[in-house]
Amino acid sequence: MRIDILCLFPDMFTSPFEQSIIKRAKESNLLNIVTHNIRDYTHDSHHTVDDYPYGGGPGMILKPEPIFELAETIQHGVDTDNMPIVLLTPQGKLLTQKIIRDLALQPHLILICGHYEGIDERVHEHLATDEISIGDYVLSGGELAAMVMVDAITRLIPGVLGSEESAKDDSHSNGLNGLLEYPQYTRPATYRSWSVPPILLSGNHEKIAQWRKRQSILRTATRRPEMLQQVILSCEEKSWISERSLNQN
């Protein structure tokens, strides 16, 4: 997979992309990330990337020309038919694991990071195919959001994760049917008088699977009740939730 990132601060990506899973994916040629500085595609002596908003108001707006020119340079000689051009903006659609799964199927993506107060609307209208926000809060720029997307996409590229299993049971993946992940423990069995739930030491795999399912359901009901609307539960599983609300534990 190739990912081109258009931004004003390409140096922000250096260390995050040289660690851990992303580093490994790059080293095994499963991932090629190319960062570009929008400023390099300006033509005036001051390398101006932004300007005052028409109609007045506070802040500066990123100019369209260098962004279009840079994107068109990347697209030159490439089959761009279904290539997603994702604009990272707080006005975008909320990022979900479903969006990540769809993007991970693409051979080539372009990510555009906004900055300052905004981007000229013609980039939204005539260049971007998708607009994504990573959450309901405001970042100073799209670079951190682009890192979030690259990380989430990279771990879904086939061959990147050591064991094909490890992505399957994560919260928000398909493996747990839209439930949050259950609690996990490792040794020691007792730490500072806090003991691991005895069922996990029992060796009874059926009971353990049932305990984990119950924990996932109760956790989702408590922390993310809206997620449960997407999940089909048995009568018994529904009773776990109502019992728990009665006992308040």
List residues with catalytic annotation: 90, 117, 155, 170
Site string for ligand 6GU, 132-151 (x = CB under 6 A): -xxx-xxx-xx--x------
Residue 85, helix vs strand vs coil: strand
Query: In whole angstroms, how close is the CB of 95 to ligand 6GU at the nearest point?
Result: 8
Beta bridge partners of 37: 7
Q: How many residues bind ligand 6GU (CB under 6 A)?
A: 14
DSSP letters, 142-209, are SHHHHHHHHHHHHTTSTTSSSSTTTTTTSTTSTTTTTPPPPP---S-SEETTEEPPGGGGS--HHHHH
DSSP assigned state of 136: S
Query: In whole angstroms, how close is the CB of 238 to ligand 6GU at the nearest point?
Result: 35
Residue identified by tokens 């279904």 is 82
Strand 50-51 and strand 61-62: the pairing is: antiparallel
- Which tokens hold the place of 114? 């906004």
Closer residue to ligand 6GU (CB): 114 or 178: 114
Closer residue to ligand 6GU (CB): 138 or 232: 138
Query: In whole angstroms, how close is the CB of 123 to ligand 6GU at the nearest point?
Result: 14
The span from the CA of 145 to the CA of 9, in Å, is: 13
Closer residue to ligand 6GU (CB): 7 or 25: 7
- φ/ψ (deg, to 5) at 148: -60, -45
Of the candidate spans 131-139, 160-168, 198-206, 237-245, the one that interacts with ligand 6GU by CB under 6 A turns out to be 131-139
Site string for ligand 6GU, 70-109 (x = CB under 6 A): ------------------xxx-x-----------------
Query: In whole angstroms, how close is the CB of 103 to ligand 6GU at the nearest point?
Result: 14
Closer residue to ligand 6GU (CB): 135 or 225: 135
The span from the CA of 32 to the CA of 150, in Å, is: 11
Closer residue to ligand 6GU (CB): 73 or 91: 91
Beta bridge partners of 195: 190
- Amino acid in position 102: D
Which positions touch ligand 6GU (CB under 6 A)? 88-90, 92, 114, 133-135, 137-139, 141-142, 145
